[in-house]
Amino acid sequence: MARGFKGEVRVELEGETYTLRMDLNAMAAFEDGTGLAALDWAEKAEAGNARVGDMISMVWCCLERHHEGADRRLAGDILSEDPEILERLFAAAAPKPDEIEGQPGK
């Protein structure tokens, strides 16, 4: 069975724990909100070529699954607190085959 595209990361901010989920729903919301192709943007972001506003938008889209009513300010605060959050979300959503539990060699 193929592994799905879904990853969750938790982050703490001011005594609260937030769960961000990068999945196809979050990516579609990002595309709808920014007009950018999410997978192309992710490649640019991983290479360090992303606008801050777009980074905040992606964090916001990843918050929506578990934190309905979250806003851009919260997303920006999370990104400020944990600048590697997107990198961790990308890794969680699409791990390399040797990083998946239950795979040979793991």
Tens-digit pLDDT profile for residues 58-80: 999 999 999 999 999 999 999 99
pLDDT tens figures, 42-54: 999 888 899 999 9
User: Greater confidence, 89 or 103?
Assistant: 89
- Return the axis-axis angle of helices 38-46 and 85-93, rounded to nearest 10°: 120
- Does residue 54 fall inside a structural domain? yes
Total number of domains constituting the chain? 1
Domain membership flag for residue 81:
yes
Residue 20 lies inside a defined structural domain of this protein = yes
Asked, for residue 105, whether it belongs to a domain, the answer is no
Look at residue 45 and tell me if it is in a domain: yes
Strands 16-23 and 6-13: antiparallel
Q: Which domain holds residue 53?
A: 8-94
pTM for this entry: 0.83
Whether residue 65 is contained in a domain is answered as: yes
Degrees, nearest 5: CA angle 26-78-60: 25
The answer to whether residue 101 sits within a structural domain is no
Q: Do the domain assignments include residue 46?
A: yes
